[in-house]
Amino acid sequence: MTQYAGGEGLDFVGELDQYNSFCKGEWWLPLTLHDTEYEKGLGTDAAGSVQVWLGGTCTTFHAALGLDQETYGRSDGPATVAYTVLAEETPVHESGTVDRDTATKKIDVDVTGARRLELVVADAGDGNALDHADRADAKLTCGDGS
């Protein structure tokens, strides 16, 4: 079974920071990375973290990572982030620094057997101005994999 973030079926342990795919501030904009709009996903400001209870039933976390397009062309902040995916508090994916010019990073991360998934975004060491970090099309493959 595939479960989508921002949709049905995911049990969030924590709260999203500032905005998500359904409401960015008061604008209600979709997550957008390099002119591609995504219907579902997670968006947070750096620094932030979201925990998801998996209960050991999922095998893969998939997402498209990048800075939201609303930051493009702006000069009022550096807009750099770094993503980390943790399974049972162990890093299973680290993106390195991502900025506005970084191509969308599509990831498929093995989370087999993990009971808890944590999605972390940091400010890449230069403050959090314009650090609108998207995990677009975020989804988990769980159960029988369908």
Q: What is the domain-level CATH number for residue 113?
A: 2.60.120.1060
Give alpha helix (H) positions in 5-125: none
- Report pLDDT for 129: 87
Other CB atoms within a 10 A radius of the CB of residue 102 amount to: 17
Q: What is the pLDDT of residue 65?
A: 97
CA of 8: how far to CAs of 32, 40, 46, in Å?
Answer: 21, 11, 25
pLDDT (0 to 100) of residue 24: 43
User: Structurally, how many domains does the chain consist of?
Assistant: 1
Domain that holds residue 119: 2-142
What is the per-residue pLDDT for 23? 40
Among residues 75, 74, 4, 47, the alpha carbon closest in space to that of 133 is found at 47
The amino acid at 117: L
State how beta strands 48-53 and 116-122 pair: antiparallel
Low-confidence ranges of the chain (pLDDT < 70): 1-28, 144-146
0.85 exceeded by the pTM?
A: no
